[in-house]
Amino acid sequence: MTVLVYIDYVPATRQPRQESLAIIDVARDIAQKLGVDVEGVVVNSVVVATKLRDMKILPKIYNIRLKNVPEGTYTPTLFGEALVEFCKRRNVEVFLFPATQRCREIAPYVAAKLDTGLVADVSELYVDEKKEVIAVKPSFGENILAHIYIPDRKPKMFTVRASLRKRTITTYDTCELIHEEVTVQEHYGIEYVKSGQVYDPDIEILPERHDIVIGVGAGLSKDSIELVKAIAKKLGIGVGATKKITDRGILSSKFLIGESGKIIRPRVYIALGISGAPQHMTGVKDYELLIAVNIDERAPIVNYSTHFYKSDANELVRKIAELVLR
């Protein structure tokens, strides 16, 4: 039996997505507790598979080559069918996907074809005393943390929202690369046109990539939030936002932290003008230091803070900007 990790990749650069690499630690931990092997699988890219082999972060990598399909070509049903055929040949106990856009397309298709269960966008996985793999995800506006397992089905499938915070990943002495070819037929007339990389000017301050993150909430003005972005770029730290900020269009959803956004694990989280609603705080995990600035000393953020300062966060941002941006 194995715990299998699907490795999603950037089509234009043939680089494994950081989200994929981030869940390898999760897969390794589950495999160890279940007493099974951990392996990775790539679809239709020998380039990506070779890079993973050289990284040696998994003991075994499979590259599924699609017959008569060009390297890197992606359509959801093609990839889904390839993974279905692959799983039918093997005794896969647990199948983990990163919660990327592609995997949100592929994983439900694979689960339906294999007649198994899928728990999507989980924030945590653990193995209980009965050797069941349990997924944790917030429900009902974070009033409930649901602990979900998939009985009597294999593979047990999960898409995992993992933090991209830098970590030390265990490496192996060698990594075996195995190539397999499958023949699948196109479905529903979907045709691959082209793929390309789009430059994101905010990529350097996205919250999941940093150990220090400034969170902005409804207590900050639009002008203050723009200053926070400038400060973050100058200092090389991340920016996150509450749902009120993204719903108003002040920042895009790529900055959203919380139940319907990203999960981050920063060492330091600086919460400016954030009330501390559970829907937001479920996205901030395992921090070492949380510094909150809010004019309301009764705000829920006080209960999460290691340091709380009663102050107007807008005024603080202006003062910091004068020091940092001059």
Is the CB of residue 204 less than 8 Å from the CB of residue 233? yes
Query: Averaged over 146-163, what is the pLDDT?
Result: 90
User: Is 248's pLDDT higher than 90?
Assistant: yes
Query: Averaged over 51-59, what is the pLDDT?
Result: 94
Out of 148, 182, 216, a domain closes at: 182
The reply to whether 160 and 221 lie within a common domain is: no
- 85 occurs within a structural domain: yes
The reply to whether 224 and 280 lie within a common domain is: yes
The reply to whether 51 and 158 lie within a common domain is: yes
- 194 occurs within a structural domain: no
The reply to whether 147 and 235 lie within a common domain is: no
User: Is 268's pLDDT higher than 80?
Assistant: yes
Number of domains in the chain: 2
The reply to whether 9 and 119 lie within a common domain is: yes
Mean pLDDT, all residues of the chain? 89
- 140 occurs within a structural domain: yes
The reply to whether 43 and 85 lie within a common domain is: yes
Whole domain around residue 270: which residue ranges? 203-324
Residue 190 pLDDT: 59
Query: Averaged over 264-291, what is the pLDDT?
Result: 92
Q: If pLDDT is split at 50, 70 and 90, which confidence band does 157 have?
A: very high
Q: If pLDDT is split at 50, 70 and 90, which confidence band does 164 have?
A: low
> Which letter does DSSP use for residue 170 in this model?
P
The reply to whether 171 and 214 lie within a common domain is: no
Q: pLDDT tens-digit profile of 1-20?
A: 899 999 999 877 889 998 89
From CA 212, how far away is CA 199, in angstroms rounded?
23
Residue 73: name the closest of 97, 107, 102, 36 by CA: 102
The reply to whether 158 and 15 lie within a common domain is: yes
- 144 occurs within a structural domain: yes
- 198 occurs within a structural domain: no
Specify the amino acid at residue 235.
L
- 75 occurs within a structural domain: yes
The reply to whether 43 and 159 lie within a common domain is: yes
Q: pLDDT tens-digit profile of 291-323?
A: 999 999 999 999 999 999 999 999 999 999 999
Phi/psi at 113 (5° precision): -65, -30
User: Is 161's pLDDT higher than 70?
Assistant: yes
Out of 182, 213, 230, a domain closes at: 182
The CATH code of the domain that includes 125 is: 3.40.50.620
How many other CB atoms are found less than 10 A from the CB of residue 237?
Answer: 21
Phi/psi at 153 (5° precision): -140, 145
Out of 182, 215, 231, a domain closes at: 182
Peptide bond preceding 155: is omega within 30 degrees of 0, i.e. cis? Answer: yes
The reply to whether 277 and 238 lie within a common domain is: yes
User: Is 277's pLDDT higher than 80?
Assistant: yes
Residue 197 pLDDT: 66
The reply to whether 97 and 146 lie within a common domain is: yes
User: Is 167's pLDDT higher than 70?
Assistant: no
- 197 occurs within a structural domain: no
- 24 occurs within a structural domain: yes
For residue 59 the two structure tokens come to: 């003991």
The reply to whether 164 and 20 lie within a common domain is: yes
The CATH code of the domain that includes 251 is: 3.40.50.1220
